[in-house]
Amino acid sequence: MAGLSDGGLLARIAAQEQEALAELFRRYGGRVLAYVRAMAAAPFPHEDAVQEIFLTLWQKAGLYAPQGGEAAGWIFTVTRHKVFDIQRSLGRVRESGGLDLELFGGAPSEVDPTLAPSVQKALAMLPEDQRVPIRLAYYGDLSYDEAARRLGLPAGTVKTRIRAGLSALRNLLLRKGNP
């Protein structure tokens, strides 16, 4: 299992191999916990959320197709969906806002020590009017409407800026040789 790509693991998970899920957890469990903690302000059941996220990955692995892109992106999306579902079930008003990427600024990554800083560096290269909406409503836990109220912009403008910013961000990350 350890030699398999993330996508290969998801294919095994779709075939109901528990050991593949265990390996995916070993690769991503701590990172998913880090993201959930950064995204959802306490009090929030961060560890319960991680369990629910991996149970969802088990159930939905059959929907993932390797040609659909990097597995990490799919895990990221499943994670966001689960955090939002839990927030809704708790009836909580989301207030934490932008993900604090500085939180991870000095932390080395065991997967690729250049990767997290490169996301930050790439973000820092974006114009502020794209960077801030991305931090609020793409990486952070605000809806378009909530981000729009905070920024004093129409929600459609927030979405347009996120879209343009992600396109630029993707190109910057690719240029750096990262996924």
Measured between alpha carbons, how far is 116 from 36 in angstroms, rounded to an integer? 16
The alpha-helical segments, DSSP class H, found in 5-45 are 6-14, 18-39
Q: Which of 5, 18, 125, 149 binds another protein (CB under 8 A)?
A: 18
| Residue positions counted in the chain | 179
Measured between alpha carbons, how far is 107 from 64 in angstroms, rounded to an integer? 30
Q: What is the nearest approach in angstroms of another protein to the Cβ of residue 136?
A: 10
**Amino acid at site 154:** P
Q: Which of 7, 10, 35, 40 binds another protein (CB under 8 A)?
A: 35
Q: What is the nearest approach in angstroms of another protein to the Cβ of residue 162?
A: 7
39 within 8 A of 50, measured Cβ to Cβ: no
Measured between alpha carbons, how far is 35 from 169 in angstroms, rounded to an integer? 19
154 binds another protein (CB under 8 A): no
Q: Which of 1, 41, 143, 153 binds another protein (CB under 8 A)?
A: 143
Residues 69-128 that bind another protein (CB under 8 A): 69-77, 79-81, 83-85, 101, 104, 107-112, 115-119
Measured between alpha carbons, how far is 161 from 45 in angstroms, rounded to an integer? 31
16 binds another protein (CB under 8 A): yes
Q: Which of 121, 149, 170, 175 binds another protein (CB under 8 A)?
A: 170
Q: Which of 5, 15, 55, 95 binds another protein (CB under 8 A)?
A: 55
CB atoms near residue 84 (< 10 Å): 15
54 binds another protein (CB under 8 A): yes
Token pair for 127: 């114009």
Q: What is the nearest approach in angstroms of another protein to the Cβ of residue 122?
A: 8
5 binds another protein (CB under 8 A): no
34 binds another protein (CB under 8 A): yes
